[in-house]
Structure 1
Amino acid sequence: MKAVRAADGAIAVVELDSPPGTGDELLTMKSASICSSDLMYLRYGLRAVAGHELAGVRPDGTPVIVEAIYGCGECDQCQAGRYNLCPTHPTRALGATADGGMAERFYAPAARLVPVPDGLDVADASLAEPAAVSWHALRLGGTGADTSVAVVGAGALGLLAVAGARRLGAPEVTLEARHPHQAEAGERFGAKIGASGHHDVVVDAAGTQESLTRAIELVGPRGRVVSVAPHMAPVQIDWRTLFHLEAAVIPSMGYCAHDDGAGGSSTELAEAAAMLAENPEIPQTLITHRFPVEDAAEAFRVAADRSAGAIRVVVEL
Structure 2
Amino acid sequence: MAAGLVGRKAVAEGFRACGVCERCRSGETSLCAGGYAETGFTEPGAFADHLTVPARLLHPLADDADLRAAALLEPAAVIAAAVRAGRPRPGERVAVVGAGTLGLLAVQLLAASSPAELVVVDPRAGRGEQARAFGASASGAPDEAAALHGRFDLVVETAGAPSTAASSCLLARRGGRVVLTGMFAPGATGIDPVHLSLSQLELRSVFGAPSAAWSDAVRAFGLGLLDPAPLITHEFPLERFAAAVALVGSGDPTVGKVLLRP
Q: Same fold (TM over 0.5)?
A: yes
Is structure 2 residue 108 aligned with structure 1 residue 154? no
Is structure 2 residue 29 aligned with structure 1 residue 83? yes
| Separation in structure 2 between the aligned mates of residue 148 and residue 284 of structure 1, nearest angstrom | 27
1:78 maps to a residue whose letter is C
The 1:245/1:133 distance shift into structure 2, 3 A limit, reads: same
1:202 maps to which of 138, 155, 178: 155
How is 1:208-223 mapped onto 2 (pairs within 5 angstroms)? 208-223=161-176
The 1:278/1:171 distance shift into structure 2, 3 A limit, reads: farther
How is 1:11-30 mapped onto 2 (pairs within 5 angstroms)? none
Q: Which runs of 5+ in 1 are unaligned?
A: 1-23, 26-57, 258-266
Q: Deviation digits for residues 1-43 of structure 1, max 9, x if unmatched?
A: xxxxxxxxxxxxxxxxxxxxxxx79xxxxxxxxxxxxxxxxxx
Which residue is 2:200 aligned to?
246
TM-score, normalization: structure 2? Answer: 0.86
What SS does structure 2 have at the residue aligned with 1:308? Answer: coil
The 1:316/1:154 distance shift into structure 2, 3 A limit, reads: same
The 1:294/1:181 distance shift into structure 2, 3 A limit, reads: farther
The 1:281/1:166 distance shift into structure 2, 3 A limit, reads: closer
2:16 maps to a residue whose letter is Y
Give 1:118 deviation, angstroms. Answer: 5.1
TM-score, normalization: structure 1? Answer: 0.72
Which residue is 1:275 aligned to?
220
Give 1:304 deviation, angstroms. Answer: 3.1
2:14 maps to a residue whose letter is A
What SS does structure 2 have at the residue aligned with 1:200? Answer: strand
Q: Is the 8 A contact 1:167 1:275 kept in 2?
A: no
The 1:280/1:248 distance shift into structure 2, 3 A limit, reads: closer
The answer to which structure has the higher strand fraction is 1
| Separation in structure 1 between the aligned mates of residue 251 and residue 131 of structure 2, nearest angstrom | 15
2:59 maps to which of 91, 114, 125: 114
Q: Is the 8 A contact 1:179 1:307 kept in 2?
A: no
Give 1:59 deviation, angstroms. Answer: 7.8
Which residue is 2:112 aligned to?
167
What SS does structure 1 have at the residue aligned with 2:235? Answer: strand
Q: Deviation digits for residues 87-118 of structure 1, max 9, x if unmatched?
A: 235x2133333332233420111000001235
| Separation in structure 1 between the aligned mates of residue 125 and residue 115 of structure 2, nearest angstrom | 24
The answer to which structure has the higher helix fraction is 2
1:60 maps to a residue whose letter is V
1:125 maps to a residue whose letter is A
| Separation in structure 2 between the aligned mates of residue 231 and residue 285 of structure 1, nearest angstrom | 26
Which residue is 2:179 aligned to?
226
The 1:181/1:294 distance shift into structure 2, 3 A limit, reads: farther
Give 1:135 deviation, angstroms. Answer: 1.2
Q: Is the 8 A contact 1:156 1:286 kept in 2?
A: yes
Of 276-285 and 206-215, deviating more is 276-285
Q: Which runs of 5+ in 2 are unaligned?
A: none
What SS does structure 2 have at the residue aligned with 1:124? Answer: helix
Q: Is the 8 A contact 1:119 1:277 kept in 2?
A: no
What SS does structure 2 have at the residue aligned with 1:150? Answer: strand
Give 1:119 deviation, angstroms. Answer: 5.0
Q: Deviation digits for residues 270-300 of structure 1, max 9, x if unmatched?
A: 3212323333883332111111111222222
Which residue is 2:233 aligned to?
288
Question: C-alpha root-mean-square deviation of aligned residues, in Å?
Answer: 2.3
Give 1:245 deviation, angstroms. Answer: 0.9
Which residue is 1:302 aligned to?
247
Q: Deviation digits for residues 44-63 of structure 1, max 9, x if unmatched?
A: xxxxxxxxxxxxxx982111
1:65 maps to which of 11, 36, 55: 11
* Alignment size in residue pairs: 252
1:76 maps to a residue whose letter is E
What SS does structure 2 have at the residue aligned with 1:105? Answer: coil
